[in-house]
Amino acid sequence: MEHREVAAETPIRFETHPSRYVHWRLELEPPVARLIMDVREDRPLRPGYPLKTNSYDLGVDIELFDVIQRLRFEHPEVRVLVISSGKDRIFCSGANIYMLGSSTHAFKVNFCKYTNETRLALEDASAFSGLKSIAAVNGACAGGGYELALACDEILLVDDSSSAVSLPEVPLLAVLPGTGGLTRVVDKRKVRRDLADVFSSLGEGIKGKRAVQWRLVDEAIPLSQFAARVSERARALAATATERGGPGVVLGPLEPTYAEDGIDYRHVSLKVDAATRVASLTVHAPPGDEPGTGAEMRQRGSELWALRAFRELDDALLELRFNRPEVGVILLKTRGEMARVLAVDAALEANRGDWFVSEVVHNMKRVLKRLDLTARSLIALIDEGSCFAGSLFELALAADRSYMLSLDAGPQVALSPANRGALPMSNGLSRLQTRFLAGLPELDFGSGYDAEAALAAGLVSFAPDAIDWEDEVRLAIEERASLSPDALTGMEANLRFAGPETLETKIFGRLSAWQNWIFQRPNAVGETGALTLYGKPERARFNWART
Amino acid sequence: MEHREVAAETPIRFETHPSRYVHWRLELEPPVARLIMDVREDRPLRPGYPLKTNSYDLGVDIELFDVIQRLRFEHPEVRVLVISSGKDRIFCSGANIYMLGSSTHAFKVNFCKYTNETRLALEDASAFSGLKSIAAVNGACAGGGYELALACDEILLVDDSSSAVSLPEVPLLAVLPGTGGLTRVVDKRKVRRDLADVFSSLGEGIKGKRAVQWRLVDEAIPLSQFAARVSERARALAATATERGGPGVVLGPLEPTYAEDGIDYRHVSLKVDAATRVASLTVHAPPGDEPGTGAEMRQRGSELWALRAFRELDDALLELRFNRPEVGVILLKTRGEMARVLAVDAALEANRGDWFVSEVVHNMKRVLKRLDLTARSLIALIDEGSCFAGSLFELALAADRSYMLSLDAGPQVALSPANRGALPMSNGLSRLQTRFLAGLPELDFGSGYDAEAALAAGLVSFAPDAIDWEDEVRLAIEERASLSPDALTGMEANLRFAGPETLETKIFGRLSAWQNWIFQRPNAVGETGALTLYGKPERARFNWART
């Protein structure tokens, strides 16, 4: 039943465009945008499961992610996003069960990670772009549907006999809600834990006033007044959001070149060695001068290096996650002139008040978080010709370890204002703070560090000289690639996020780990497991031993 | 190969006594106690694996837990515990691999949970009893051995060619260190994450000065000076610890009565219905007046209700975890006079300055944490004759949900100072704070709440009247017992610990979940998995797909 090689058979592409949306309709009525989920049953990402009752698969979520990205860049005039459904009496029934049931464990896990990142993107847009969101729940709202609503700032529910919110995963499927539901119920909406317990073990969900009393939704409104009330709340939220001075910046296509062994973008290249299961991911510094003022940057638009390079990096990371499942080690490299990267960082820092510049920086932040959350071993190679400076030095800080070539007049690394906290990790700290939890040493922001100085300052892990470089790096990569992929995933998930915990780290660290565990338990995915037997006449049969 | 029914075949007993220790020697030289690990290879908890090279199984850890408990109660004059090994050139080689390889998944998970609780008990003793600990690492210290050292306040390492600290689980066994190692390395000792990455993927470990530089140990000392330096550090730590006025209080035996369907203790009874997989755990209030002053309480010693009842509860929880794996629902009940429980709480509160009283309260705290961390559904039944007041009301707050009988002159619940923060959860909050994350309502500490008032105040989940009580409670229990045990474990682990995260919640919530996941991956426990093939000539063969 497992669809083992979905990735290899048909590569999944993550770029899309409003003109190609299949499952969503976006209606712009600034300052409000209405996003209507109307999933095309006959257009799943791969054949084999109809997307009934507004259920979603990765293809549906790729479009949603694109909507949120474009609203931030292309429509600064929009300040409230109202999400509703185009179906009768169904808001969204969550992730498609047959898709889940027929996917590999690795695909399920990566699918949930991506949907989590999309929900967090909604919350990030609310926090940092003043793009508030309302879930206008005009029908049954189950599982992943309710998890989408939970990511919005407000949840308004029709008060009638068919509109209920529910998390039926535990009772119906013997798995957990996969997209942050349990965490958001108790930690974001602060639902009392005993009521959350009842709610999450109840297949049919909670309706109307009780849903409000339990804090599961913000309001329950009779159908006759629903549209008016949603509009009223949208206007009220729009009035509280920060104004962003348009016009918007259109996100152009990335137009990468695909080859058997990788992808070439303008500033990023990905090369995969299938035999050794090692990939090289190289980010190039700007090839020329980048603009220095907000106005010039907006004019450069999506061709701006800081925007384009990180959008390309984002796409490459998704390629690795979904289409290259056997790659175990990613070598992070950079090429180009450090001075140009530092100039970019300085210009971004100097223009943080500009809405577009702010969006560019927040996008860099989200892409770097996607890197932190990518379950592959990351090794930064700071070799000749590299330019690990400022925002690109974040790649080295994100790596599980780094090797820097020690050579007279050899490579340098440099810090910039971008390393001071503009690009925080999911734990809320900068990567420097996370690296130096025992206490931030005195660091030189501005001038470069050669290998010896970087090693002494604790900025890199190792600094072999030219004689040792090749052997030491090769051995490290070979050793890493020889270890159990699962053990490495768990190890990295625990070592990368020391320090404080946030809603995000709780979702990715705690909730996802439990979900992953349950996703491979026989009670869920075994022959008589609940996920396997969903929709069949036979009832699930459980092994009752509690773990 | 899996040893499916270890629990049912030979019940594991958790009570022990220094006179019966097999694996540890305790030498008292107040203010120092020396604890020597000298595991008897031929005395495993069950036959089938020799405990070579100071490796441990649950039996070894049961004794260690007993040592820590007794030092706190019986030896207030001891202020520093020095842990070392009785073997030549080996400190401790961690959990026994053959024991792990031949245990069920559920046993492995529960074994790790118990060892985690024991390590946390060491840290709790340091924080709240001023009982500091030193790991005097006089030899190879691998895996769980290093995790034991990590739980101590200081780690002193012999600086020679054979003494190294290591976490070789990932490279050698394809699993994670199971007892908090990764978390303590980066979060407690604040080892740089890239160095932690190198350390945790290196089979042979780190020695001498490098171990100090990387913060893995506090000092590396030549063998010739080791004993003297350990004594010096022990005296120095003893000088900083708070004095506790003796004499100690001996912990008497619990002497329970075992039956097929449960256990009867003095104040606690456990009844198991194997057919429905439901257990009733009943705690009785003091049968008479309890002492009111510290001196009187010390005189009552381990017969003091607040100490004995919670020690019994602790033992019953371990019985459920290890010997009753199929019990899915635990009904928490109380019986007796509320006024007596409230009087106990008042006396404990009034005498918190007394070292013994403080120990009694901290023990209650630890037992309640053990309850929070017990992976079974907890339903509190507040019925006629019950006495959910103060410290016993914590049982209802720890429950996943609670049902209170609504009846004229029916049962009441009451709050006491014990609910205000003296018995915090692993997340650092009181159970009331965790319940009311949205904001603590105004609560009445002292007088009782009847069902209607308790429901209105949010203190109980449901308050059926006498007509509905039986059906509503029966249905809730039946429904709960019918759900997937795995999904419930994951759901409860996420809903019980909302709010802040601590080292403890990180270990139990995040690290353990990843460990559980990996513990059932074919790369670890499959036919060609690394854990399965450990010690055999054949090499592990992995599925390389990364998840």
pLDDT tens, A305-316?
999 999 999 999
Q: What is the pLDDT of residues B432-487, one digit of tens each?
A: 999 999 999 999 997 899 999 999 999 999 999 999 999 999 999 999 999 999 99
Pick from B176, B501, B543: CB nearest A501: B501
CA distance B38 to B525: 29
Q: pTM of the predicted model, to two decimals? A: 0.96
Residue A48 touches partner B, C-beta closer than 8 Å: no
Rounded CA-CA distance B433/B500 in Å is: 11
> Is the minimum CB–CB distance between A168 and chain B shorter than 8 Å?
no
Task: Look up residue B540 and give its DSSP letter.
Answer: P
Is the CB of A195 inside 8 Å of chain B's CB atoms? yes
Please answer whether residues A51 and A227 qualify as being in contact, where contact means their C-beta atoms are separated by less than 8 angstroms. Answer: no
Q: Which residue has the tokens 């290998």?
A: A451
The answer to whether the CB atoms of A501 and B500 lie below 8 A apart is: yes
CA distance B211 to B213: 6
- Which DSSP letter does residue A88 get? S
Interhelix angle A338-350/A305-323, nearest 10 degrees: 110
The ipTM of this complex is 0.94
Strand partners, B95: B56
The answer, for A376 touching chain B at a CB cutoff of 8 Å, is yes
Low-confidence residues in chain A, pLDDT < 50: 1-8
Q: How far apart are CA B167 and CA B170, in angstroms?
A: 8
Residue B527: CB partners within 8 Å, gap ≥ 6? Answer: none
Q: What is the DSSP string of A98-147?
A: HHHHTB-HHHHHHHHHHHHHHHHHHHHHHHHH--EEEEEE-SEEETHHHH
Contact A225/B at CB under 8 A: no
Here the tokens at position B262 are 């449960």
Any A CB within 8 A of B514 CB: yes
Q: CB neighbours of A193 closer than 8 A, spacing ≥ 6?
A: A186, B400, B434, B435, B495, B496, B498
> If we measure between CA atoms, which residue out of B292, B293, B312 comes closest to residue B302?
B312
Q: What is the distance between the alpha carbons of residues B409 and B415, in angstroms, rounded to a whole number? A: 18
Nearest CA distance, A257 vs chain B (angstrom): 25
Q: Which helix (H) or strand (E) holds B24?
A: strand B24-29
Distance CA(A539)–CA(B135), nearest Å, equals: 53
Nearest to A152, CA basis, from A180, A177, A113: A180
Helix (H, G, I), strand (E, B) or coil at B9: helix
Identify the pLDDT of residue A241: 82
Residue type, B511: L
For B5, which residue in chain A has the nearest alpha carbon?
A545
Token pair recorded at residue B523: 């790369």
Is B533 an 8 Å CB contact of chain A? no
**pLDDT digits over A493-504, tens only?**
999 999 999 999
3-state SS, residue A325:
coil
Give me the total of CB pairs closer than 8 Å, taking one residue from chain A and one from chain B: 271
Backbone angles phi, psi at B402, to 5 degrees: -140, 145
Q: How far is the C-alpha of B526 from the C-alpha of A468, rounded, in Å?
A: 38
C-beta atoms of B201 and A545 within 8 A: no
Say if the Cβ atoms of A546 and B438 lie within 8 Å. Answer: no
CB-CB contact of B336 with B388 (8 Å)? no
Summarize pLDDT for B25-42 with one digit per residue, the tens: 999 999 999 999 999 999
Tokens of B151: 């739980």
Q: Read out DSSP for B410-478?
A: ---EEB-GGGGTTS--TTSS-HHHHHTTT-PPP--BSSEE-HHHHHHHTSSSB--BHHHHHHHHHHHHH
Whether chain A has a CB inside 8 Å of the CB on B419: the answer is no
A202's tokens: 């109840």
C-alpha distance from A21 to closest chain B C-alpha (Å): 29
* A543 inside 8 A of chain B by CB: yes
Contacts of A501 in chain B (CB under 8 A): 500-501, 505-506
Q: How far is CA A27 from the centre of its chain?
A: 25
Any A CB within 8 A of B441 CB: no
Is A536 an interface residue toward B (CB < 8 Å)? no
Nearest CA distance, A87 vs chain B (angstrom): 30
Asked if B213 is an interface residue toward chain A (Cβ–Cβ < 8 A), one would say: no
Q: How many residues comprise chain B? A: 547
- Cβ B498–A546 below 8 Å, yes or no? no
Question: pLDDT of B152-203, one tens digit each?
Answer: 999 999 999 999 999 999 999 999 998 999 999 999 999 999 999 999 999 9
Q: What is the pLDDT of residue A1?
A: 33
Specify the 3-state DSSP secondary structure of B254. coil
The alpha carbon of residue A306 and the mean position of all alpha carbons in its chain are separated, in whole angstroms, by: 18
Contact A487 B175 (CB under 8 A): yes
Residue B499 contacts residue A187 (beta carbons within 8 Å): yes
Cα angle A405, A411, A415 (rounded to 5 degrees) comes to 115
Ramachandran angles phi, psi of A212, nearest 5°: -70, -45
- Residue B428 at interface with chain A, using a CB cutoff of 8 Å: no
Q: Is B490 within 8 Å of A176 when comparing Cβ atoms?
A: yes
Q: What per-residue confidence (pLDDT) applies to A379?
A: 98
Q: Do residue B494 and residue A277 have CB atoms under 8 angstroms apart?
A: no
Q: Which A positions 307-346 lie with beta carbon below 8 A of chain B?
A: 325-328
Q: Which of B195, B505, B514, B528 to mutate to test the interface with A (most CBs of A within 10 A)?
A: B514
* Cβ within 8 Å, pair B488-A524: no
| pLDDT score at A9 | 67
Query: In Å, how far are A371, B321, B328, B368 from B377, measured between CA atoms?
Result: 37, 12, 6, 15
Cβ atoms within 10 Å, residue A41: 13
Our CA-based measurement puts residue A500 at a distance from the nearest CA of chain B, in whole angstroms, of: 7
Contact between B395 and B388 under an 8 Å Cβ cutoff? The reply is: yes
Determine the 3-state secondary structure of A370 from DSSP: helix
pLDDT digits (tens, 9 = 90+) for A210-259: 999 999 999 999 999 999 999 999 999 999 988 888 799 999 999 999 99
Please name which of A413, A386, A381 lies closest in space to residue A400, comparing C-alpha atoms. Answer: A381
**Are A461 and B198 a contacting pair at CB < 8 A?**
yes
List % helix, strand, coil for chain B (3-state, nearest 5).
Answer: 45, 20, 40
Tell me which residue of A534, A541, A539, A536 sits closest to A99, measured CA to CA.
A534
Q: How far apart are CA B12 and CA B14, in angstroms?
A: 7
Q: Which residues of chain B have pLDDT under 70?
A: 1-9
Listing DSSP states for B42-99 in one string gives T--SSTT----TTEE-HHHHHHHHHHHHHHHHH-TT--EEEEEESSSSEEE-EE-HHH
Q: Do B486 and A182 touch (CB under 8 A)?
A: no
Strand partners, A29: A32
Contact B69, B122 (CB under 8 A): no
- For residue B490, give the H/E element and its range: helix B485-495
Half-sphere exposure of residue B443: CA atoms within 13 angstroms, side-chain side: 24
Helix (H) or strand (E) holding A258: strand A257-259
Residues in chain A: 547
Residue B197 sits at the chain A interface (C-beta within 8 Å): yes
Give the type of residue at A103: S
Helix, strand or coil, per DSSP, at residue A241: coil
CB contact under 8 A, A485 and B215: no
> A493 and B180 in contact (C-beta within 8 Å)?
no
Cα angle: B85, vertex B91, B96; to 5 degrees: 110
Q: Chain A residues with CB inside 8 Å of B201's CB? A: 479-480, 483, 488, 491
For residue A401, give the nearest of B197, B458, B516 by CB distance.
Answer: B197
